Structure 1
Amino acid sequence: VLGGTSVMNGMTYMRGSRKDYDDWARMGNVGWSYQDVLPYFMRSEDNAQINDMDYGYHATGGPLTVTQFPYHPPLSRSIIEAGREM
């Protein structure tokens, strides 16, 4: 295999949990609450589907292009449907 880590992973863009950031701030890590780091997430993001996103949590214009993968395997649809049936 020739390539970087994108050869081995799904290249998923995911932020940490709000609770984790807030816990770090409560433990004394000043500047690490979710509200503190959210502006940096937003500045870094260039969301190609901004109209489908929650305003106030996503942005455009940053160096990191974020978009949904166009292909969804049949199993992923089955998992979502199973969750709805629960």
Structure 2
Amino acid sequence: MNICEKQHRYASILNNLPDSQSSDEGRHLCAGCAYEKGYSDGLNNQKCKLAELNLPYSQAGTGRHKSAQAAYDLGWQEGNQKYCS
């Protein structure tokens, strides 16, 4: 089991994400990694499914029990806004 140790686990942007314990929403996956991957994908105007991302686990910090899918979607929206501008 790969566990994320990056500082983004404590990012304030994760505070406003919805809580989720659903497997479909990426239960226990690192929301910080999901956000960063979504942002990168948005900058490149491509979108992936959560299952394709191979995200590490994390239950630390502000990302604890947060929806990895919502984190990816938020990152994608923000990255894609920069792509489109």
**In which range does the TM-score fall when normalised by the shorter chain?**
under 0.3
Which of structures 1 and 2 has the bigger CA Rg? 1
TM-score by length of 1: 0.26
Greater RCO (Cα-Cα under 8 Å, separation 6 or more): 2
Structure showing the higher helix proportion among its residues: 2
Structure showing the higher strand proportion among its residues: 1
TM-score by length of 2: 0.26
